[in-house]
Amino acid sequence: DAGVIQSPRHEVTEMGQEVTLRCKPISGHNSLFWYRQTMMRGLELLIYFNNNVPIDDSGMPEDRFSAKMPNASFSTLKIQPSEPRDSAVYFCATLAGSARGELFFGEGSRLTVL
């Protein structure tokens, strides 16, 4: 298995632009988590899905952020409009239903908003 695949690996954009981050989970993993990592705040949980259904989005900073999981093979995290304070590494991680806590992380998407 190729593991969790995220794209793009790096994105540089200007303030006000729309950003879309993508994640392909490991086949058969039924839970998907989006995290954001910064030096100041560490690894923050933004939203997670179980069987493609959003369970808890209380970590999403504001209405500019949205996430979808249209099927078991794909998820997106969208920021519109982007702001400099959104600059961070965004990780997608997945979990097999039977495995407590063993998250498999992607390589992350490093976002820089100028």
Position 93 contacts another protein (CB under 8 A): yes
Position 55 contacts another protein (CB under 8 A): yes
Given 12, 27, 97, 114, the residue binding another protein (CB under 8 A): 97
Range in contact with another protein (rule: CB under 8 A) among 12-20, 66-74, 77-85, 100-108: 100-108
Torsion of CA 7, 11, 16, 21, to 10 degrees: 10
Position 56 contacts another protein (CB under 8 A): yes
CA 13 – CA 82 distance, rounded (Å): 8
Q: State how beta strands 74-79 and 104-105 pair.
A: unpaired
Given 29, 33, 36, 60, the residue binding another protein (CB under 8 A): 33
CA 28 – CA 82 distance, rounded (Å): 32
Report the nearest approach of another protein to the CB of residue 75 (Å): 15
Given 2, 42, 63, 70, the residue binding another protein (CB under 8 A): 42
Give residues in contact with another protein (CB under 8 A): 4, 31, 33, 35, 41-43, 45, 48, 50, 55-56, 91, 93, 95, 97-98, 100-108
